[in-house]
Structure 1
């Protein structure tokens, strides 16, 4: 079942236009419309599967963030890179605060939380996907909940992270408001999202894996990130690039674009595209994916 939005999910403007028609290359092969808000420039899938009906679009072997075991070479590479980036994420949050209370929203199978716990952090997680949540809870002694509503209302966190999660959340405004209420006054909200203004998006066009419809409901650029700050009374403190994402997104994109080509050809093309995408980014916010670090005003 599809739901049609009459307002922008971020700024609530009623002024938006059709932007592009994108195919779900990974699962259903269905086409979905992206709309662009005329006010804040957020791109959003419209119409979109309802929250109760989107589950099957995630239930496929290649949805790697819900899997612990590698089943093919691409997934093996993903997990090796993920293990490296997890250590970097822990270093990153420890640069902001040496230790404290951490909430990871959309924690997947819990690897990041496990690494943070090993460094002395008090951890909690939110993961709506039952399979991934069960795997996480085996590692984390039932510290992962299904939704933010299940958290103790008095729970406050020094750092709340959403690594490639915000683009998946149906109730965008309500969820962000709830998240921010759990953030300490001097805490940090860390949001990582793909960049539809990146070089690799322009290169691959409708085959860009970062669209990932209908799982990705939104796409942010600098103007929509500014709107997010305004709407939720946040202050952007810093922007960091996620340089590995350009390679991984390019690899998936090559698979959609060059289905009949050899694996070696796709890997080589993706490697070159990843290098060029990173080289073309003149500032951190222009990379294939970017990390935005916010505090309450």
Structure 2
């Protein structure tokens, strides 16, 4: 369903909170997307993990603390901790939370931020809170973000990354278009709709940046095979083709036709 005023797409009918809890406790999304091992998932996530760690370093120092909400298996949290930073996670999926706790040796919180019993205040506040490809899974984004902000210190940063519904590939590949709309993703955003969503919150600054995670080879794969590269996506092409990939990404990012939107807010 599309709202013509704010350009926010949302799955309809929306699942109940308890249905969503069951969906993630069974790890149903991972079974839909791919059937790879945890170590396979780690390898697949490595380019994003490295990019996100370098991004967050712009907003922290060695005395900062970070909370990654929707931390999954904890690869991002683990990487930050291995570099000497203090990072915790929050994960609602039982199976992923247990693995994240083992990987990170750090607190991995079990809090449903859409539950009516969510505490009004939290003991621990963080300098930076991250939501990497989490908000699209949320049925009530405003309610969810109100609880997210409770974790954030004054002058702290909230970093949000979501898929972009204006992704150029959606307009040129029917197969990708059919794959894109899935049960796990309840909300779909472009730059305009996420800006309107975030206007519900008083912040000092708000900055939007486009990110193209996948290379032009991924686009070519969709157009030629009509199938996703689930277990081995190509984030970067061979070095000989890096110049072409740079041009491809630059063009998509410049007009927000890229696959991802990154937003940084200062509370």
Same fold? TM cut 0.5:
yes
What is the aligned partner in structure 1 of residue 156 from structure 2? 187
Q: For the residues of structure 1 that align with 2:94 and 2:30, how far apart are their CA atoms?
A: 11
TM-score by length of 1: 0.70
What is the aligned partner in structure 1 of residue 211 from structure 2? 242
The one of 95, 100, 110 aligned to 1:131: 95
1:108 aligns with 2:72: yes
Does the 8 Å contact 2:67/2:126 carry over to 1?
A: yes
What is the aligned partner in structure 1 of residue 142 from structure 2? 173
Q: For the residues of structure 2 that align with 1:222 and 1:128, how far apart are their CA atoms?
A: 27
- Greater alpha carbon shift after TM alignment, 177-186 vs 50-59: 50-59
Q: For the residues of structure 1 that align with 2:222 and 2:120, how far apart are their CA atoms?
A: 37
The one of 85, 89, 107 aligned to 2:52: 89
CA apart distance, 1:254: 5.8
CA apart distance, 1:293: 0.7
1:68 aligns with 2:38: yes
Q: Secondary structure at the match of 2:2?
A: strand
More RCO (CA 8 Å, sep 6+): 2
Rate the CA distance shift 1:85–1:136 in 2: closer, same or farther, 3 A.
same
Q: For the residues of structure 1 that align with 2:158 and 2:256, how far apart are their CA atoms?
A: 17
What is the aligned partner in structure 1 of residue 258 from structure 2? 287
The one of 190, 201, 223 aligned to 1:221: 190
What is the aligned partner in structure 1 of residue 61 from structure 2? 98
Q: Secondary structure at the match of 1:69?
A: helix
Does the 8 Å contact 2:131/2:160 carry over to 1?
A: yes
The size of the alignment, in residue pairs, is: 247
CA apart distance, 1:83: 1.5
Q: Deviations over 1:26-85 (max 9, x none)?
A: xxxxxxxxx111221111111133333341542517447x95132xxxx6xxx4352233
Does the 8 Å contact 1:246/1:287 carry over to 2?
A: no
Rate the CA distance shift 1:104–1:248 in 2: closer, same or farther, 3 A.
farther
CA apart distance, 1:215: 0.6
Q: For the residues of structure 2 that align with 1:130 and 1:253, how far apart are their CA atoms?
A: 33
What is the aligned partner in structure 1 of residue 104 from structure 2? 140
4+ long deviations beyond 6 Å: none
Q: Secondary structure at the match of 2:166?
A: coil
- Greater alpha carbon shift after TM alignment, 82-91 vs 122-131: 82-91
Q: For the residues of structure 1 that align with 2:164 and 2:218, how far apart are their CA atoms?
A: 11
Q: Deviations over 1:260-279 (max 9, x none)?
A: xxx8xxx89x979x958625
Q: For the residues of structure 1 that align with 2:34 and 2:119, how far apart are their CA atoms?
A: 25
Rate the CA distance shift 1:105–1:251 in 2: closer, same or farther, 3 A.
farther
Q: Secondary structure at the match of 1:173?
A: helix
TM-score by length of 2: 0.77
CA apart distance, 1:170: 2.6
Q: For the residues of structure 1 that align with 2:72 and 2:37, how far apart are their CA atoms?
A: 8
Does the 8 Å contact 1:236/1:292 carry over to 2?
A: no
Q: For the residues of structure 2 that align with 1:284 and 1:162, how far apart are their CA atoms?
A: 23
Higher-strand-fraction structure: 1
